[in-house]
Amino acid sequence: DILTVLKKTMQPGQYNIVSNEQMAKGELLGNTLTVSVPNAFVKGQLEQAQSMDCIKNAAREATGMEINVKVLENKSIQNGNTGKLDGLSKFGNVKFE
């Protein structure tokens, strides 16, 4: 629900970050939304005042509550994803040596 609101209100570049599971993962616990990102650059993009305001407003609209937003750097987000080449191996006709 939060992403639906953000799509309407957030700058396209920042929206592409928060809507991409390889770039950001969100978790809402109580009244705190934690957004984990893979590196300091992405963290800096989302911590800009305009981006934080958009996220807080979208969370408030989606939940009806005042939401605190934290952006945390978590390098395992990017490293934990399988690459596109790994996904091709499921078709059986692609072999990696």
Longest dimension (CA), the chain: 53
Give the mean model confidence (pLDDT) for residues 2-28.
91
- Over the chain, what is the mean pLDDT? 83
Bridge partners (DSSP) listed for residue 68: 32
In this prediction the pTM is: 0.74
Tens digit of each residue's pLDDT (9 = 90 or more) over 18-54: 999 888 999 999 999 999 999 999 999 999 999 999 9
How far apart are the C-alpha atoms of 42 and 71, rounded to whole Å? 9
